[in-house]
Structure 1
């Protein structure tokens, strides 16, 4: 088993998640309490972005539209990349100090970086962050740039977490069909059939549109517990129009860019009705995932920011008509599941194991990925 740290900065631009797990690339080590319940896989940490950091990253997202080849860094992209790398280094250093660890205690770091553009149809995906510089600074090997090899081979480059989802489900003793739904900036699902077969894809917008709406209309970074959405009424005509977008009938594997949809689509609505409409849009797009499931999942486990949104959970239970459980309630981590996944993926990449598959990204054959840097 290797001790690996995973780092994740998602499209919601809230901050950096840090998680330590033990993995051999095939399995993850879980700990159980006296009642058999799974405990934490390992310590976790978080480094919030400042308002200034988020403003820079939002400019980077906008200016990334000018990227033609993945090495381009137009506008503020180079400044943003340097800051992302520095902040991730600080996040790891703080994490090690808080947990009484040293770099010598860590075998490997999985560094996702910050996605600024993801257009696999154009063979283009860019996650800013300098893995080699991070490795030199920390004195720990770093695996980064997880998506590019898959996209270059014709895959979607996303989602990457399904192989970790299956390892965690097996370690947890789950049997039968299962869905693991991550609602970050974009929502993605892993459908695990009873025989272990995987199907994974982005279902549609996650929290990004709601966050953008709340930031613009209410000067708040997100809709806490979904209270604003719960106070509004969704615009059914607008929802019907949004859901005829061809993305929702395209067969998976498939993936989205954070900016594939815009919160401005609900611009004429009140703050509450706009939040309700965007929240319903996320949920109903998730429900469309059932069109592609070989077996209706008996259970949905929800992670990401959406797992802390009571209104979103209520709507998911209504539309999925299945057991819907926040990851924290079964001993998993809603907040740190993706960071844990990138630790696991780093170990797989280090060992030359595949991280993407035809049924998860559409690549023609299972393939490994990532770029390894040593200090």
Structure 2
């Protein structure tokens, strides 16, 4: 899968097992393949293409993905050991209010190159049923880690899952790494390693108040964000402030931490929150999140590095396995769809 932070294509080989209703996994191999200069430049501009140009890019990106996956299989000696490929692709459009979502990366091309079954278009069925098509990771959190009450993913967009009263609630909170990385680009860096640059800055109260005032934060769930909200609205608003980039980074980290705390209720008993995604490596951001959540009686937990980096890719694999088994892989209670559903297009790559 390619996340909203656009750092590359995440690929894992995982073994997923289900015994008497209990699910388990092992991540055998993993890698993040950076986008080459062409895709790094073109992916952010896809929304401006004509219909024909977008479809051609869909096929080309699918073939690029197919070849990268093939190389991954060869490199890790996985010939005849892969049963199926689950591909999320790269989100270009996400307009659930118009019952439309589009992820770049033609599944048929991936299947043809690898001669394996491919499951793609993982969000479309939920969207068609009136859901947000996001977040879709709660199905994996339900099956793999039922000992946690909270799950926070800090990728290009920060999203949360909460287990409350025998149901799962999940939604996008705010843009995260997509905005932080753009601010770091202004410093000649691709990202803020360990949050060092943010830690150098100072909080700007005027910017913080402006960020916290966006209408999205007042909307009830289910709700979700597009990449454009972070790039075209939030980042552009930040750039209107004549302050240092370190101050912008510091203030935006504070904004993320505050918005996370705002959506979490105060707990009477101690609860645990698992944090994954690239933002889990931003030590300054994690420090600020921990500060606010401590007042809510919620303890932050960071799993091993492999899971921080590849949890979402792992859950895409589970969604693919459930689709192959023709079992529900999207929760309507989370997305707002009229019912749970079995989503994903299946492309048979074998002879």
State the distance in 2 between where 1:294 and 1:93 align: 47
1:45 correspondence with 2:25: no
- Residue 13 (structure 2) aligns with: 20
Decide whether the 8 Å contact of 2:126 with 2:332 is kept in 1: no
In 2, Cα distance between equivalents of 1:80 and 1:286 = 36
For residues 74 and 13 of structure 1, the distance between their equivalents in structure 2, rounded to whole angstroms, comes to: 23
Correspondence 1:355 to 2:329: yes
1:206 Cα deviation (Å)?
1.8
Residue 89 of structure 1 is matched in structure 2 by 66
Q: How many residues align?
A: 339
Partner of 1:266: 238
CA–CA distance in structure 1, aligned partners of residues 189 and 244 of structure 2 = 15
1:54 is aligned to 2:31 = no
Structure 1 partner of 2:77? 100
* Cα distance in 2 between the residues matched to 1:74 and 1:181: 37
Structure 2 distance, partners of 1:370, 1:300, is: 29
Q: Within 1, Cα distance between the matches of 2:269 and 2:136?
A: 22
Q: 1:74 to 1:278 in 2, by over 3 A?
A: farther
CA contact (8 A) 1:24 1:348 kept: no
Q: Is the 8 A contact 1:188 1:204 kept in 2?
A: yes
Query: How much is the aligned-residue C-alpha RMSD, in angstroms?
Result: 2.1
Which stretch has the larger CA shift, 80-89 or 336-345? 80-89
In the alignment, what sits opposite 1:73?
51
Q: Following superposition of structure 1 onto structure 2, how do residues 280-359 of structure 1 map, counting pairs within 5 Å?
A: 280-291=254-265, 298-321=271-294, 322-328=298-304, 333-359=307-333
Distance 2:268 2:127 in 1: 28
Tell me whether 224-233 or 337-346 shows the greater mean CA deviation.
224-233
1:159 touches 1:201 (CA, 8 Å); kept in 2? yes
Q: Measure the CA separation in 1 of the matches of 2:252 and 2:198.
A: 8
CA shift for structure 1 position 196 = 4.9
Provide structure 2 residue ranges, at least 5 long, that are not aligned to the other structure: none
* Partners of 1:295 and 1:24 in 2: CA distance: 35
Give the structure 2 partner of residue 4 of structure 1.
Answer: none
Distance in 1 separating the partners of 2:141 and 2:323: 16
1:137 aligns with 2:113: yes
Q: Quick one: structure 1 residues 110 and 218, their matched pair in 2 at CA, closer, same or farther if it must change by over 3 Å?
A: same
Residue in structure 2 matched with residue 36 of structure 1 by the alignment: none
Preserved contact between residue 66 and residue 109 of structure 2 (Cα < 8 Å): no
Task: Give the aligned partner of residue 239 of structure 1.
Answer: 208
Task: Extract unaligned runs of 5+ from structure 1.
Answer: 1-7, 31-39, 65-71
Residues 219, 302 of structure 1: CA spacing in aligned structure 2 closer, same or farther, 3 A cutoff? same
Distance 1:142 1:118 in 2: 22
2-side partners of 1:125 and 1:365: how far apart?
18
| Corresponding residue number in structure 2 for 1:212 | 182
CA offsets 1:78-109 (integer angstroms, 9 cap, x no match)? 4532342133223212221222111x321111
Matched residue SS, 1:43: strand
Indicate if the aligned counterparts of 1:162 and 1:190 stay in contact, CA closer than 8 A. Answer: yes
CA contact (8 A) 2:136 2:331 kept: no
Q: Is the 8 A contact 1:56 1:80 kept in 2?
A: no
Alpha-carbon shift at residue 54 of structure 1 (Å)? 0.7
Q: 1:295 to 1:184 in 2, by over 3 A?
A: farther
Please tell me whether the aligned partners of residues 119 and 347 of structure 2 are also in contact (alpha carbons under 8 angstroms). Answer: yes
| Other-structure match for 1:199 | 169
Q: 1:297 to 1:242 in 2, by over 3 A?
A: farther
Does the CA contact (< 8 Å) of 2:198 and 2:284 recur in 1? yes
Distance 2:222 2:319 in 1: 19
CA contact (8 A) 2:111 2:117 kept: yes
Distance 1:210 1:296 in 2: 33
State whether residues 191 and 297 of structure 1, in contact with CA within 8 Å, keep that contact through their aligned partners in structure 2: no
> How far apart in 2 are the matches of 1:86 and 1:283?
39
Q: What is the distance in 2 between the residues matched to 1:162 and 1:225?
A: 27
